[in-house]
Structure 1
Amino acid sequence: MASSAMTKTNITTDQLALLSLKSQIISDPSHFLDESLSPAISICHWVGVTCGTRIQRVKSLNLSNMALIGRIPCELGNLSFLVSLDLGSNNFHGNLPQEMACLRRLKFLDLSVNNFSGKVPSLFGLLHHLQVLNLGNNSFTGSIPRSFSNISTLETLNLKFNSVEGQIPKVIGSLVNLRVLNLRGNNLIGSIPLSLSNASRLETLDISFNSLQGNIPEGIGNFHNMNWLVIQANQLTGPIPFTIFNISRIEVIVFARNSLSGTLPNGLCNGLPKQKGRYLSTNKLRGHIPTSLSNCSQLQILSLPENEFDGPIHSEIGRLSNLQILGLRTNHFTFHLMHTITIVSYYFRILFYSTLIAGIIPQEIGNLFNLVELAMEENQITSSVPISIFNVSSLQLLSAWQNNLSGFLPREISGNKLIEHEISYTICMFGWSELYFNERIMRDALWLRNRTCKSWCDDTNSDYTMIEKGVLGLYGSGCPLWPGFSSGRDKLGIRARFMAPG
Structure 2
Amino acid sequence: MPPLLPLLVLSVLASASASAEQDVYALGKLKAALVSDTTPALADWDLAAAPPAHCSFRGVSCDSAARVVGINLTGMPLHGGSLPPEVALLDALENLTVAACSLEGSLPASLAALPALRHLNISNNNFTGPFPVPIGAGEPYFPVLEFVDAYNNNLSGPLPPFGAAHTRLRYLHLGGNYFSGVIRESYADLAALEYLGLNGNSLSGCVPASLARLKRLREMYIGYFNMFNGGVPPELGELHSLVRLDMSSCNLTGPIPPELGQLAHLDTLFLQMNRLSGEIPTQIAGLKNLKSMDLSMNELTGEIPAGLANLTSLTLLHLFRNHLHGNIPEFVANLPNLEVLQLWENNLTGQLPAGLGKNSPLKMLDVAINHLTGQIPPELCAHGTLEALVLMENCLSGPIPGSLAACKTLKQIRLGKNMFSTSSVPAQLFDLEEAKANMLELTKVVLTSQL
Task: Report the TM-score when normalising by structure 2.
Answer: 0.90
In 2: Cα distance, 1:149 partner to 1:309 partner: 44
- C-alpha distance in 2, partners of 1:254/1:293? 16
Residue 103 of structure 1 pairs with residue 119 of structure 2:
no
1:123 corresponds in structure 2 to 134
Asked if residue 65 in structure 1 is aligned to residue 80 in structure 2, the reply is no
Please name the residue that 2:154 is paired with: 139
Compared with structure 1, are the counterparts of its residues 366 and 45 closer, same or farther at alpha carbon in structure 2 (3 Å cutoff)? closer
Select the residue among 292, 309, 313 that pairs with 1:277: 292
Bigger mean CA offset, 69-78 vs 419-428: 419-428
| Kept after mapping to 1: 8 A contact 2:42/2:58 | yes
Write the distance in 2 (CA, Å) between the matches of 1:246 and 1:28: 58
Query: CA 1:323 to 1:366, structure 2 compared with 1: closer, same or farther past 3 Å?
Result: closer
The structure 1 residue matched to 2:234, chosen from 196, 206, 218, is 218
Query: 1:130-279, aligned counterparts within 5 Å?
Result: 130-209=145-224, 210-269=226-285, 271-279=286-294
8 Å CA contact retained: 1:338, 1:360: no
Residues 1:308 and 1:109: Cα distance change in structure 2 (over 3 Å):
same
Relative contact order higher in (CA < 8 Å, ≥ 6 apart): 2
Tell me, yes or no, if the aligned pair for 2:336 and 2:360 is still in contact at 8 Å. yes
Once residues 409 and 336 of structure 1 are traced to their aligned partners in structure 2, the CA distance between those partners, rounded to angstroms, is: 19
| AA of the residue aligned to 1:57 | R
SS in structure 2 at match of 1:214: coil
> Per-residue CA shift, 1:365-418, capped at 9, x if unaligned?
342511111001110101122211111111111001111111415454277343
Secondary structure at 1:404's aligned position in 2?
A: coil
Task: Work out whether residues 28 and 66 of structure 1, in 8 Å CA contact, stay in contact via their aligned partners in 2.
Answer: no
Task: List per-residue Cα deviations over 1:316-340 (Å, max 9, x = no partner).
Answer: 1111121111010111111212535
Cα 1:65–1:377 change in 2 (3 A) is same
- What displacement does 1:431 show? 2.1
SS of the residue corresponding to residue 329 of structure 1 reads coil
- What's the secondary structure of 1:146's corresponding residue? coil
> How many angstroms apart in 2 are the aligned matches of 1:339 and 1:398?
19
Letter in 2 for 1:63: L
Q: CA deviation at 1:228?
A: 0.7
> Which amino acid in structure 2 is aligned with residue 89 of structure 1?
A
Between 1:405-414 and 1:191-200, the stretch displaced more is: 405-414
CA 30–317 in structure 1, closer or farther in 2 if over 3 Å, else same: farther
State the 1:39 CA deviation.
2.7
Distance change >3 Å, CA 380–CA 27, structure 1 → 2: farther
Pick from 15, 23, 41 the counterpart of residue 14 of structure 1. 23
> Counterpart of 1:17 in 2: which secondary structure?
helix
- Report deviation, 1:149: 4.7
Aligned position for 1:474: none
1:412 to 1:403, Cα distance in 2 relative to 1, 3 A: closer
Match of 2:93? 82
TM-score, normalised with respect to structure 1: 0.81
* Separation (CA, whole Å) in 1 of partners of 2:259 and 2:184: 24
CA offsets 1:138-171 (integer angstroms, 9 cap, x no match): 1111011335453222111111110111111111
Which of 54, 62, 82 aligns to 1:43? It is 54
- Find the aligned partners of 2:217 and 2:38 in 1 and give their Cα distance: 39
| Residue 47 (structure 1) shift | 1.2
Deviation, structure 1 residue 123:
3.4
- Structure 1 gaps, min length 5: 1-5, 435-502
d(CA) in 2 for partners of 1:28, 1:430: 62
Q: Structure 2 regions of 5+ residues with no counterpart?
A: 1-14
Q: 2:306 aligns with which of 262, 274, 291?
A: 291
Pick the structure with greater CA Rg. 1
Of 365-374 and 29-38, more deviation after overlay is shown by: 29-38
> Match for 2:350 among 335, 340, 357?
335
Matched-pair identity in %: 28
Residue 313 of structure 1 and its aligned partner are, at CA, apart by 1.6
The match for 1:304 among 313, 316, 319 is 319
Which amino acid in structure 1 is aligned with residue 390 of structure 2?
Answer: A
Q: 1:378 aligns to what SS in structure 2?
A: coil
Distance apart, 1:49 and its partner CA: 1.2
- SS of residue matched to 2:134: helix
Contact 1:353/1:379, CA 8 A, preserved across alignment: yes
Partners of 2:318 and 2:46 in 1: CA distance: 52
Match of 1:426 in 2: 443
Q: Where does residue 315 of structure 1 map in the other structure?
A: 330
- Which piece of structure 1 moves more, 179-188 or 366-375? 366-375
Q: 2:175 touches 2:201 (CA, 8 Å); kept in 1?
A: yes
Tell me the distance in 2 between the aligned counterparts of 1:411 and 1:309. Answer: 33
Q: Is 1:56 the counterpart of 2:66 in the alignment?
A: yes
One-letter identity of the residue aligned with 2:78: L
- Indicate if the aligned counterparts of 2:24 and 2:47 stay in contact, CA closer than 8 A: no
State whether structure 2 residue 39 is matched by structure 1 residue 23: no
Q: Deviations 1:85-143 (Å, cap 9, x if unpaired)?
A: 10111111111112213311111100111111111222397112101111111111101
Q: Secondary structure at the match of 2:449?
A: coil
Alpha carbons of 1:360 and 1:114: their partners in 2 closer, same or farther (altered >3 Å)?
Answer: same
Q: Hey, what does 1:371 align to over in structure 2?
A: 386
